[in-house]
Structure 1
Amino acid sequence: MKKLIKFSALSLLLLVAVAACSSNDEASSSGSGETSDSSAPSDKSGVTIGVESNFTSMDPHDTNDNQSYSAQSAMLEGLLGFDEDLNIVPVLAKDYSVNEDSTEFTFQLKEGITFHDDSPFNAEAVKANLDRLTDPDAQLRRSSLFELVKSTEVVDEYTVKVILEKPFGAMANNFAHPAAAMISPKSIENSEDIGQEPVGTGPFEFEEWQSGDHVTLVKNEDYREKGLPKTEQITFKVVPESGSRVAMLQTKEVDYVTSVSPSQVEDLDDKDGITIQNEPGLLVRYISMNTMKEPFDNPKVRQAMNYAIDKEAYAKVVYNGYATTLKSSIAPDTQHYSEQENTYSYDPEKAKELLSEAGYPDGFETTIWGGTSSIKQKMMEFYKQQLSQVGITLNVVPMEGGTLNDNIWGVENPEDAELELYNGGWSPSTADADWGMRPLFSENSFPPQAYNTAYYANEQVNELLQKGLQTADDEERAQYYAEAQEIIWKDAPWVFLAVPDMIYGSRDYVQGVDMLPSGVLDLKNAEIVSP
């Protein structure tokens, strides 16, 4: 493991304050009363992965969470992808070229590939997918990744040219995003089935999805790469409680868990055939504040919220030190990151002063929405305890994934949004500042179009994000994104919290399950091996 951080007295006190909502999350591995050996089970049941929340969709063009992308990426592939170091690599494309001003991307496609329904993969299939992604009437959540695409042209059966309206040097990153996965054209014709029964070209095929319980994928016997896949099936088991996921890992009910509670790391690592790993990621944690609603339309209130929450204590209490405090609106490993000078250090007196200046000397009452997993409820109880110290009464409302999505992204008009605060997290799977910022801070990204749950609107930020989007000059892009980060930080549409490590665990007999920095799993080489 990379780091073990001991609790300070303050952290221990805060941990007690939030323990009531997270007793299962805090249980040690010995609490299950079970022991286990490291012998490998039969591969007949394949690899079972414990995940913390329900899946939202099997349609990559209309998905907004990395967990769903983990399942989709085993079934569907894109023209390009990322390796474990976030280098862009060809997948369904054999090669690609870009013209001098980054307005034309020409892809040479691999030949002889078929979709799971035996439809051919060719230039026409690519065009069908990109036409769908760029169709404004489709109202797909990931369409903003491809808003600069002017047209997609079939050059010949295995050559396709994508023409952009304006230069964009990072467009290859967007093609490598899991949202650019290729779906069978037959599925596109019957689009109502895509979200439930995806058809791709990947090493695994869709078998079953029982919402709230599991998703099962089975081996693609005709996969083009010799020797792959190496396991008969992949099963994702939905287990919201961290303590339950860990107990299932110990008893081999699951073979891999995508999210381990930081408090359980020391008790689990290298014990009973279990290995825990942690890696820095691209995910940022924040509380978005609806800037169209009082009192969050006042920047002094938003700044006060930032001073009122102890980010260092948050990293220790919620993540046991497996996190760093957020010092910009994107994570340090995101391209064109710019660290901010004023870090909103914990200062409750400053928070009270700002609240008084904003006309709220006695504080106010507000509500936060968030997920139902142990760690997310723990976060929100932490916020409640912290904000109470400056007179802010926080009502915590956990919601299941589908309900949360409906309540946030089911609202067509910003004025109708009931959202006040949102316990959010964002990982830009392109690893580029554009996708780390534009979907969250552009005025064109209000729900349901994208993910600006703060309903934040700043003309200068809009202009800078568009300039960054429309140039192929990397130095210019760095300048635009640095300026935008500075403005966003001062405007504070978020409470900027932390960059958590990715912490995941597996049985020693599992190999080939790779967690990418984006938080998406690469399962192509997954297998069960004998010790």
Structure 2
Amino acid sequence: MTNHQKSALLAAAVAAALLFAAGCSGNKGAPGPPPGESGSSSTTEIRLEDEDPGGTPKAGGRLSFLVRLDATELDPHKMSETTAFVINEQVYESLLQSYRGELQPAIAEEWEVSDDGMELSFNLREDAFFHSGRPVTAEDVKYSLERILNPDTHAPRAGSFQSIESVTAVDQHEVRIALKQPDAALLTMLSTGASSIVDREVAEAGGLNGTVDGGSGPFKLGERVMGQKITLDAHDKYWEEGVPYLDGIDISFNPDDNARASAVRSGTVDFLWRAAPEFADSLMQDEDLKWYGGSGSLSLHLQLNAGKKPFDDVRVRQAVFHALDRQELLDVANAGRGTVLNGGYLPKGRWGALREPVYGEPDLEKAKALLAEAGYPDGFDTTLMVISTSAFQVRQAEVEQQQLAKIGIKVTIESLEATVATERAKSADFDMFQSGFGLTYDPDERFTASYLSDGGLNYGHWADEEYEALIVEARGELDRDKREQLYEDAEQILAERGPSAFTFVDANYDVVQNYVMGYAGDPTPTFRFYKYLWLDK
């Protein structure tokens, strides 16, 4: 893609994003960022890039990048943590890539869908190379997709690829995917980090969660010290001419919100990823810094373990749903920055979201009546697990503790280190878990992985036949309007009897030094635009 083409595409994407930010449906072809609703937020402005692009990009330099927590799993087919997605979208590429809802070429230069929707064909570019130096071939694509589908991989998003019947390497640069039935979500899934094409030789030799990666993306894994740092170095055989502009990205980790804010304010780091909400105002007003964001990408919820008493009873779950004051949760946990969720997982304005609220102000009398009907007239004792280094989620858990006490549910907060909490969640060893799920390009990715009975991220062990039938039907429905209605029906079920008390979508902000150029955010979200960042100094 030429620079001119990229500029034209960016201009069109910005226009579409602005329409979405204004609450309009500017692109019926793809889900867009949520509108600028913010509860009691002090700002509703959304900024995705600089008004002045800053002239011709300069090559060279390393970007120091600060994030809250390290990722424990960097295998792109197994990852579930947001940090892993941020890192892996620099290291790995998929057949396609998505930018603000539009599918673009990546490892595949061209693709075609058969008239009956039962076959997908991809022509691979000949100038794509893995970081090992080996060219990317059709056999690697076949290996990668079959690895995702292999139950032994335990890929959390494998359910979204179940329509694949077979993958054939026609020759070195052509891949053919035969489907069991048409799948409206599959092309989008093939653009996500979860469908990364991996170097089969690296994957089979030592796996993909060590100090050597199996990617072909613009950056390659340089050094990895768990919990301390990850360095990414520019891939000198990357297929897109002239990028990445940076020589590398040096990623460090610090769970202390104040320390992270101080680091970017003092110039110690170039890029602060997701500033803590309570520091957003002061950082946004600093003349030496620039900020981007305002549109959230994380849907927060209180996860209830539907596989354990008392949360196996839908009436108990509904009592929790009615007892929560979602506006208070947003105000205390996230400084009022974000959008209250009065229904399901998706915020209002996203494609597939509920149009009318399910919950409003807390209804404590209804909640108490539901508990009494379920056999808990005096409430019960329970435990709420939360990641100790996530300050805003700890605050949210504390408010939930106070709110649930009003209906007799006595909550003990259990603060755990991230890796321990994650393992406990995966093994369903919890009563309640303060958590969140990132928004996705296509609803199927989240609805399948997190809420189908065999979903790899269905930590609450919830199963609902009606919900499952809707999601499966939606995946195979090619009429977009009908598909959207199916997702709205599924969201209604999630909101009324699912395993999650949905609370709010955050409004997050990246803060960078003034000399960091080329930021062009995508709140759907994706982080693959980092290859276009450059330093004007």
Q: TM-score normalised to the size of structure 1?
A: 0.86
Cα distance change, pair 179–524 in 1 and its aligned pair in 2 (3 A)? same
The corresponding residue for 2:522 is 516
1:392/1:196 CA distance change after superposition, 3 Å: farther
Cα distance in structure 2, aligned partners of 1:280 and 1:113? 33
SS at match of 1:140: coil
2:380 is the alignment partner of 1:370: no
Q: CA RMSD in A?
A: 2.3
Distance change in 2, residues 1:143/1:197 (3 Å): farther
Residue 113 of structure 1 pairs with residue 128 of structure 2 = yes
Map of 1:193-212 to 2, 5 A cutoff?
A: 193-212=208-227
1:234-278 deviation digits (Å, cap 9, x = unpaired)? 011111121111011111222112211222222221314122333
Q: Does 1:529 align with 2:532?
A: no
Q: Report the equivalent of 1:127.
A: 142
Pick which of 42-51 and 72-81 moved more.
42-51
* Conservation of the 8 A alpha-carbon contact between 1:256 and 1:506: yes
Question: Are residue 505 (structure 1) and residue 521 (structure 2) matched?
Answer: no
Aligned to 1:66: 82
1:318-467 alignment, distance < 5 Å: 318-326=333-341, 327-332=343-348, 334-371=350-387, 372-409=389-426, 411=427, 417-429=428-440, 431-445=441-455, 450-467=456-473
Q: After alignment, is 71-80 or 472-481 more displaced?
A: 472-481
Which one-letter code corresponds to 1:422 in the other structure?
Answer: F
**Aligned counterpart, 2:3:** none
SS at match of 1:106: strand
Using the size of structure 2 for normalisation, the TM-score is 0.85
Deviation at 1:5, TM superposition (A): 7.0
1:117, CA displacement in angstroms? 0.6
AA aligned opposite 2:402: Q
Structure 2: which amino acid aligns with 1:468?
A
Counterpart Cα distance in 2 of 1:518 and 1:476: 22
Instruction: Quote the residue 2:281 is aligned against.
Output: 266
Q: What is the identity, as a one-letter code, of the residue corresponding to 1:529?
A: D
What is the alpha-carbon distance in structure 1 between the residues aligned to residue 453 and residue 288 of structure 2?
50
AA of the residue aligned to 1:152: V
Q: Which moved more, 1:391-400 or 1:166-175?
A: 391-400
The answer as to 2:477 corresponding to 1:471 is yes
Identify the match of residue 56 of structure 1 among 72, 97, 107: 72
Q: Separation in 2 of the partners of 1:179 and 1:196?
A: 20
Q: Determine the C-alpha separation between the residues in 2 that align with 1:145 and 1:180.
A: 10
Corresponding position: 1:493 with 2:508: no
Contact 1:77 1:182 in 2 (8 A): yes
The one-character-per-residue Cα deviations of 1:198-245 (angstroms, maximum 9, x if unpaired) are 121111111111111111101222323332121221011111121111
Q: For the Cα contact (< 8 Å) 2:301–2:500, is it kept in 1?
A: yes
Instruction: Please give the secondary structure, in 2, of the residue aligned with 1:478.
Output: helix
Contact 1:79–1:91 (CA under 8 A) maintained in structure 2: yes
CA contact (8 A) 2:93 2:106 kept: yes
Contact 1:170 / 1:472 at 8 angstroms: preserved in 2? no
Q: Distance in 2 between the 1:441 and 1:345 partners? A: 26
Q: Is the 8 A contact 1:46 1:232 kept in 2?
A: yes
SS of the residue 1:60 aligns to: coil
Match of 2:292 among 269, 272, 277: 277
Are the equivalent residues in 2 in contact too, given 1:54–1:401 (CA < 8 A)? no
Q: Where does 1:68-107 land on structure 2 (aligned, <5 Å)?
A: 68-83=84-99, 85-107=100-122
Tell me if the contact between 2:332 and 2:395 (Cα under 8 Å) persists in the aligned partners. Answer: no
Amino acid aligned to 2:522: L
Shift of 1:325: 1.2
User: Aligned ranges for residues 163-312 of structure 1 at < 5 Å?
Assistant: 163-312=178-327
1:50-99 deviation line (CA, Å, top 9, x unaligned): 1111212221111112221111111111111111x221111111111111
Letter in 1 for 2:385: W
CA distance in 2: counterparts of 1:171 and 1:528, whole angstroms: 37
- Deviations along 1:176-198, one digit per CA (max 9) or x if unpaired, are 11111111121122253445421
Letter in 2 for 1:335: W
In percent, how many aligned pairs have the same letter?
Answer: 26
1:72 aligns to what SS in structure 2? helix
Distance 1:4 1:293, change over 3 A: closer
Letter of the aligned partner of 2:534 in structure 1? E
Instruction: Give 3-state SS (helix, strand or coil) of 1:253's partner.
Output: coil
Contact 1:338 1:485 in 2 (8 A): yes
Q: Is the 8 A contact 1:78 1:181 kept in 2?
A: yes
Gaps of 5+ in 2: 1-20, 22-35, 43-57
Distance 2:475 2:438 in 1: 18
CA distance in 1, matches of 2:385, 2:256: 18
Contact 2:297 2:508 in 1 (8 A): no
Cα pair 2:517 2:533 within 8 Å, conserved: yes
Any stretches of 5+ residues in structure 1 without a counterpart?
9-41, 412-416
Query: C-alpha displacement at 1:285, in angstroms?
Result: 0.9
* Closer, same or farther: CA 184–223 of 1 in aligned 2, 3 Å: same
CA shift, 1:44, in A, is: 7.6
CA distance in 2, matches of 1:286, 1:65: 16
SS of match in other structure, 1:275: strand
The 2-side partners of 1:133 and 1:398 are apart by 33
Report the counterpart of residue 165 of structure 2 in structure 1. 150
Q: Tell me the SS of whatever aligns to 1:246.
A: helix
Please tell me whether the aligned partners of residues 306 and 344 of structure 1 are also in contact (alpha carbons under 8 angstroms).
no
Contact 1:328 1:339 in 2 (8 A): no
Distance 1:492 1:130 in 2: 30
Q: Retained in 2: the 8 A contact 1:337–1:433? A: no
The 1-side partners of 2:122 and 2:504 are apart by: 38
In the superposition, relative to structure 1, how do residues 109 and 334 fare at CA in structure 2: closer, same or farther (>3 Å)?
farther
The C-alpha deviation readout for 1:2-21, integer Å capped at 9, x for no partner, is 7887689xxxxxxxxxxxxx
Give yes or no for the alignment of 1:161 onto 2:167.
no
1:481 aligns with 2:487: yes
Cα distance per residue 1:316-338 (max 9 Å; x no partner): 22222211111223234543222
Instruction: Give the count of matched residue pairs.
Output: 485
**Separation in 2, partners of 1:277, 1:225:** 25
Residue deviations 1:426-463 (CA, integer Å, cap 9, x gap)? 1243x212123122221122xxxx11122111111111
Inter-partner Cα distance in structure 1 for 2:39 and 2:149 = 47
Query: CA–CA distance in 1 between the matches of 2:489 and 2:189?
Result: 22
Give the partner amino acid of 2:446: G
Provide Cα deviations, 1:468-505, integer angstroms capped at 9, x if missing partner: 12333323322322222222222142112011122221
